[in-house]
């Protein structure tokens, strides 16, 4: 499909490039041109007729920008939304989450993942970094819907194995442009030292980065210190886990030494502010990460702990929580945060072709309504997006050159109602068992 977006405001998210008016041209899954009005006027006259457009979309001076990268998700956990809130963490996990997860089947994981995909599309999320049981099914659900997904292993003592992870790593890093796979494990506290050593071996074998939940709660850090005499970040690094980089999800309780490890190994922090509030985990020292030039990206975490999959909420929180933590209203400005939610997320996920809007990049593009009251007046578009933006402003979400959501309608090959109905039926079974 050849698609032309015209009359657009464009924010490419390339460094030091401001919003401008112009056009974006798409051919199949790639961007083939991003033009300012001036560049368009200077294009050779016979360029236009050579392209036959399948669709020409008048953007009416709404904003085109790269889609959001949701850098930490457990998508299929939609089935637990509003099922287990307002409980202490241990009761939440042991009485509610684990017993219900034990009843999941292939079909239900597929449909619960597609329910999450619907929500991602309404929030302008074009890539997810997803850790969950049965990545094969998650990949299928995403591929069938057209969602870009970077799978990461949630390996632990009870689920999967290093051998299976290696198999998945090789299988999913084939040439499918929508799906890729990163090495990972659930967390230090759910993996034996033996298992972690096997993960480190694979990291060395494939010169690959490794990702895991890290330093989410004070308890996790204290227990690791008792077990190994080191914090999780220090301990994992001592196993050679991060020779080829990687990153940590959450990173709420990080010592200066942990941050040194992150700096030295160029590890990514993936912050999850709403989930950290809702589970009473704490407020991550994001300003300190930024000061140390540790790359930060943003994830919603799963719907059991957040409960919504909305990057606008997360962006406001990254800024607002940093301001209140640092007692400084100037902390963590909107430009930094918007970069985290887009370019930095793409880097963390290894999606170097989905970071900015430029020729040759994947066409992962969203359109934001500038004619909504919360986007008026337009003193500064970036601040409007980060501080007053809402998923209600998402007019269109395009992934890999396909328009999957437009003016409130989904184009993923089935109706949302059909997905809701299937999810409802799965839950009926699971709750009655």
Give residues in contact with its own copies (CB under 8 A): 78-79, 81-83, 85-89, 92, 115-116, 118-119, 122, 274, 276-283, 303, 306-310, 313, 316, 319-321, 323-324, 326-334, 371-374, 376-380, 383-384, 387-392, 416-417, 420, 423-424, 427
Closer residue to its own copies, CB minimum distance, 117 or 354? 117
Closer residue to its own copies, CB minimum distance, 81 or 186? 81
Closer residue to its own copies, CB minimum distance, 249 or 405? 405
Closer residue to its own copies, CB minimum distance, 70 or 281? 281
Q: What is the smallest separation between the CB atom of 115 and its own copies, expressed in angstroms?
A: 6
Q: What is the smallest separation between the CB atom of 379 and its own copies, expressed in angstroms?
A: 4
Q: What is the smallest separation between the CB atom of 216 and its own copies, expressed in angstroms?
A: 13
Closest to 198 measured CA to CA, from 153, 234, 232, 265: 153
Closer residue to its own copies, CB minimum distance, 77 or 356? 77
Q: What is the smallest separation between the CB atom of 296 and its own copies, expressed in angstroms?
A: 17
Q: What is the smallest separation between the CB atom of 393 and its own copies, expressed in angstroms?
A: 9
Q: What is the smallest separation between the CB atom of 274 and its own copies, expressed in angstroms?
A: 7
How many CA atoms lie less than 13 Å away from 362 in the CB half-sphere? 23
Closer residue to its own copies, CB minimum distance, 182 or 276? 276
Cα dihedral 365→120→111→160 (10° resolution): 90
Q: What is the smallest separation between the CB atom of 266 and its own copies, expressed in angstroms?
A: 27
SS (H, E, C) the chain: CEEEEEEEEECCCCCCCCCEEEEEEEECCEEEEEEEHHHHHHCCCCCHHHCCCCEEEECCCCEEEECEEEEEECHHHHHHCCCCCCCCHHHHHHHHHHHHHCCCCHHHHHHHHHHHHHHHHHCCEEEEEECCCCHHHHHHHHHHHCCEEEEECCCCCCCCCHHHHHHHHHHHCCCCCCEEEEEEEEEHHHCCHHHHHHHHHHHHHHCCCEEEEECCCHHHHHHHHHHHCCCHHHHHHHCCCCCCCEEEEECCCCCHHHHHHHHHHCCEEEECHHHHHHCCCCCCCHHHHHHCCCCEEECCCCCCCCCCCCHHHHHHHHHHHHHHHCCCCCCCCHHHHHHHHHHHHHHHCCCCCCCCCCCCCECCEEEECCCCHHHCCCCCHHHHHHHHCCHHHEEEEEECCEEEEECCEECCCCCHHHHHHHHHHHHHHHHHC
Q: What is the smallest separation between the CB atom of 130 and its own copies, expressed in angstroms?
A: 16
Closer residue to its own copies, CB minimum distance, 180 or 397? 397
C-alpha of 321 from chain center: 20
Closer residue to its own copies, CB minimum distance, 117 or 346? 117
Closer residue to its own copies, CB minimum distance, 162 or 304? 304
How many CA atoms lie less than 13 Å away from 281 in the CB half-sphere? 27
Closer residue to its own copies, CB minimum distance, 132 or 185? 132
Q: What is the smallest separation between the CB atom of 376 and its own copies, expressed in angstroms?
A: 5
Q: What is the smallest separation between the CB atom of 28 and its own copies, expressed in angstroms?
A: 27
């Amino acid at each position: 499909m050849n698609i032309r977006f015209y009359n657009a405001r464009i924010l490419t998210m390339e460094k030091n490039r401001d919003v401008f008016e112009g056009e974006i041209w798409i051919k199949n899954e790639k961007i083939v041109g991003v033009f300012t009005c001036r560049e368009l006027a200077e294009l050779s006259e016979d360029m236009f007729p050579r392209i036959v457009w399948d669709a020409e979309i008048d953007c009416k001076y709404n904003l085109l920008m790269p889609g959001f990268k949701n850098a930490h998700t457990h998508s299929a956990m939609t089935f637990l939304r509003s099922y287990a809130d307002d409980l202490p963490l241990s009761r939440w996990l042991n009485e509610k989450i684990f017993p219900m997860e034990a009843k999941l089947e292939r079909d239900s994981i597929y449909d619960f993942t597609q329910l999450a995909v619907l929500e991602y599309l309404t929030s302008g999320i074009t890539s997810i970094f997803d850790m969950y049981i049965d990545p094969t099914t998650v990949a299928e659900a995403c591929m069938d819907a057209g969602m870009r997904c970077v799978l990461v292993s949630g390996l632990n003592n009870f689920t999967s194995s290093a051998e299976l992870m290696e198999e998945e790593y090789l299988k999913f890093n084939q040439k499918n442009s929508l799906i890729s796979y990163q090495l990972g494990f659930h967390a230090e506290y759910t993996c034996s030292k033996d298992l972690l050593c096997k993960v480190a071996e694979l990291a060395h074998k494939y010169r690959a980065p490794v990702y895991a939940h890290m330093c989410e709660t004070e308890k996790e850090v204290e227990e690791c210190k008792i077990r190994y005499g080191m914090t999780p970040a220090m301990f994992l690094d001592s196993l050679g886990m991060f020779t080829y980089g990687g990153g940590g999800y959450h990173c709420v309780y990080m010592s200066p030494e942990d941050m040194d490890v992150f700096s030295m190994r160029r590890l990514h922090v993936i912050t999850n502010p709403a989930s950290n509030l809702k589970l009473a985990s704490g407020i991550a020292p994001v300003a300190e990460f930024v000061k140390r030039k540790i790359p930060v990206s943003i994830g919603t975490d799963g719907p059991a702990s957040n409960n919504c999959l909305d990057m606008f909420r997360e962006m406001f929180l990254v800024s607002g929580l940093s301001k209140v933590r640092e007692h400084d209203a100037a902390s963590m400005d909107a430009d930094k945060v918007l970069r985290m939610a887009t370019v930095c997320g793409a880097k963390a996920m290894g999606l170097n072709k989905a970071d900015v809007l430029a020729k040759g990049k994947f066409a992962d593009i969203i359109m934001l309504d500038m004619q909504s009251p919360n986007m008026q007046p337009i003193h500064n578009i970036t601040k409007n997006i980060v501080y007053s933006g809402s998923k209600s402003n998402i007019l269109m979400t395009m992934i890999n050159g396909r328009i999957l959501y437009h003016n409130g309608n989904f184009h993923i090959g089935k109706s949302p109602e059909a997905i809701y109905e299937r999810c409802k039926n799965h839950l009926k079974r699971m709750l009655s068992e």
